Chains A and B, each alone.
Chain A
Amino acid sequence: MKQLIQKLTEVYGPSGHEDAVRDLVRAEIQGLADSVTIDPLGNLIAIRKGKGRGGRKVALAAHLDEIGLIVSHIDARGFVRVTNVGGVRPLYAAGGRVRFTNGAIGAIGVETRRERPDHIPTLNDLYVDFGVARAADVPVRVGDVGAFMGAFTVLPGGRVMSKSLDDRAGVAVLIEALRRLKTSPHEVAFMFTVQEELGLRGAGPAAFTFEPEIVLAVDVTATGDTPNGARMAVALGAGAAIKAKDTGLLVDPRLRDLLVKRATEARLPYQLEVLEGGRTDAAEMQLARGGAVAGCISIPCRYVHAPSEVVDLGDVEAAVGLLVATLSKPIEL
């Protein structure tokens, strides 16, 4: 699991440029599904046919893309101005490194703002420095996209740190669930979606095509266990988070209760999640066509959208276990 997450996080894939991640996932799931397709938006969809009776059409979604930056302007001295691809936090970005699609790497500088020493940087204060002396030597053009750098690292406590654990940890959960799922009565679509960070753009059309009855997103969620952090009843290492609510989804209480039941039966650690300020693919997928019952299994993650996101592998394991346990049995709501 650790190796899989490492491989996935090391691949470059800002929103709209998910090709390399998609190729890696396709290689990882080879031979495990009855069909593997790529839809017009770029979503990778692996479908496992159901065996036996009483099966439902279930769509699982984890997004391939990560947040990044896009070049908006290049000044005469070669400093590159950027704007966000997804929910970039300038405080997390400043001082970091960004790698563009062509491989060019730059430092993310921040204006000093001597006149306003207490000023909190905004995107407008950031620039990318390629170490060039003039605009002609800048290796990128307006419209080029880059992703933050943040190497996969195992922390002394065993937890892992990397850029893009949002949502490569979720992608790993789907891949691992596909490997471990022996038999299921359900027709399950494992959807590896694109452009989630830009507003859940891939997931809706994917759900429109598949017409699921039940949707489960697997994505990271914030935690409330850091110094003076958010007020949230989710902690790293306390198990998979079964979502009750976020900004875009009120989980059907029947599905939430079923997930709790399956976690309890399988003796998997879990916690219930209410997230203020965040959405997942499930929010969009529940609205496709006539609607679908939607829920979400979340992986607690500290510093979401920083180049050093941190997750606990025990929580990731619990998410895989919960997904497999849920898919192995009938889903009666």
Chain B
Amino acid sequence: MDLIAHLKTLCATPGLSGHERPIREVIASAWADLADEVQVGALGSLTALKRGRGRKLRPRVMIAAHMDNIGLMVASVQGEFLRVSPIGGIDARVMPGQPVTVHGRRDLPGLVVAPSDFLLPAGLRGGVVTVDELLIDLGLSAAEVARQVRVGDVVSFAQGQASLNGGLLASPAIDNRASVAAVTVCLEALAGRAHDWDVLAVATTQEEVGLHGALTSAYALAPQLAIAIDVTFGSGPAVRDFADRCYELGKGPTIAFGPNLHPVVYKHLVDCAERGGFSYQSEPVAAHSGTDARAIQIAREGVPCGLLGVPLRNMHTPVEVVHPQDVYTAGRLMADYIAGLGPDYLARLARELD
């Protein structure tokens, strides 16, 4: 697999929260050959099952990467223009001037525009224009807009991709297609290897609006162990004050620890990285991780979870930046960890917890 081409395809495919069908189809075709079975859950999450060896009832490890990305939804049609509502955490500061695709009766190119400062209500002048004050200009007549667009249509960012110096990739939707690509790497790495556990690779839905896909998939699949993978804050310009919460691009994925995560799973992931010579960074997560790991951890009677992070700059903007090497390393690390799971691994987790 050409990782960069795969990542670019994933990032270029629409898949807004709750509207993941296009990206799900792309992922399904990438994972189908690497798994024994592919199925779609009630909320649209995609699960690829790769069976472990042995005929007995095998334990199951879930690897979860959310496939949805943030965007906008048409809230009202006002003549030639559209008002929008955010889907997920939109950073209003970078919205004006963004090219978008409005998924109406057909896909329509448009621009996010902000009214001139002096046309805004007095209280809103001189600051960041909030999402509800933004407009989308499609360059069409009001009559044509009325024919093509209706309330509830979704809007994707259409900012192009850019290869930056040093191998970095910039694109919308790297959160969290980078992690989906890492799962593809993992499945590929497992293709030639024996593993005792069944692997449930899950591309979850609606993470950006409340971890919905992970919560319901974890219930439906009832795994005994889970690794979630998501992006994390990369170090970059003007993050000095938050340096202890940001991670270097190109220095490997983060392995997270904290109350949301199982301490022994963390330790084993670290051991695995050390043994395999993978670069990694340790990431303390003091509370709710804000990732699928949170929802999976408390599904059913509880699931021991690990969490990997792919360092990412400019999170929740259309110019997210990632180092593809971190994606690759994360995938290989997950594969090594999974291949190392023995039939008695759960007992080992309990034993080493003391």
Contact = CB atoms under 8 A, between A and B. Distances in A.
Contact of A287 (B41, B150, B212): B212
Interface stretch (B75-83, B263-271, B312-320, B325-333): B75-83
Nearest to B300: A289
A90 to B, nearest CB: 22
B219 A233 contact: no
B138 to A, nearest CB: 17
Given A274-B85, A290-B217, A232 B19 contact: no
Given A252-B18, A274-B85, A293-B42, A231 B152 contact: no
A220 interface: no
Nearest to A276: B85
Chain B binding surface, main DSSP class: mixed
A253 B18 CA distance: 8
A207 to B, nearest CB: 12
Contacts of B209: 250
Chain A binding surface, main DSSP class: loop
A233 B206 contact: no
B151 A244 contact: yes
A292 interface: yes
Given A245-B85, A274-B85, A233 B75 contact: yes
A312 interface: no
A291 B43 contact: yes
Contacts of A253: 18-19, 152
Q: Which residue of B76, B151, B212 has the most chain A CB atoms within 10 A of its CB atom?
A: B151
A250 B150 contact: no
B220 A290 contact: yes
Contacts of B44: 252
Range class of the B interface residue count = 20 to 34
Given A274-B85, A291-B42, A291-B220, A245 B150 contact: no
B125 to A, nearest CB: 18
A248 B206 CA distance: 11
A213 interface: yes
Interface residues of A, number: 25
Contacts of A293: 42-43
A290 B42 contact: yes
A213 B42 CA distance: 8
A217 B217 CA distance: 22
A159 interface: no
B18 A250 contact: yes
Interface string A230-272: 0111000000000011001011110010000000000000011
Given A250-B209, A272-B152, A274-B152, A232 B215 contact: no
A71 B76 CA distance: 41
B87 A245 contact: yes
B85 A250 contact: no
B73 interface: yes
A224 B151 CA distance: 14
Given A287-B215, A291-B216, A233 B76 contact: yes
B219 A289 contact: yes
B25 interface: no
B152 A256 contact: yes
Interface string B43-77: 11000000000000000000000000000011111
B124 to A, nearest CB: 13
B37 interface: no
B128 to A, nearest CB: 18
B216 A289 contact: yes
A245 B41 contact: no
Contacts of B41: 290-291
Nearest to B222: A290
Contacts of A256: 152
B17 interface: yes
Given A231-B83, A287-B212, A290-B217, A274 B42 contact: no
B33 interface: no
Nearest to B42: A291
Contact of A290 (B74, B151, B210, B216): B216
A286 interface: yes
A232 B216 contact: no
6 contacts: A245-B87, A248-B210, A287-B216, A291-B42, A291-B213, A291-B217
Interface of B: 17-19, 41-44, 73-77, 83, 85, 87, 132, 150-152, 206, 209-210, 212-213, 215-217, 219-220
10 nearest CB pairs, A to B: A244-B152, A250-B18, A291-B216, A290-B220, A233-B76, A291-B42, A272-B151, A291-B43, A274-B75, A272-B152
Given A248-B210, A292-B42, 7 more contacts: A231-B76, A245-B85, A245-B152, A250-B209, A253-B18, A286-B43, A293-B42
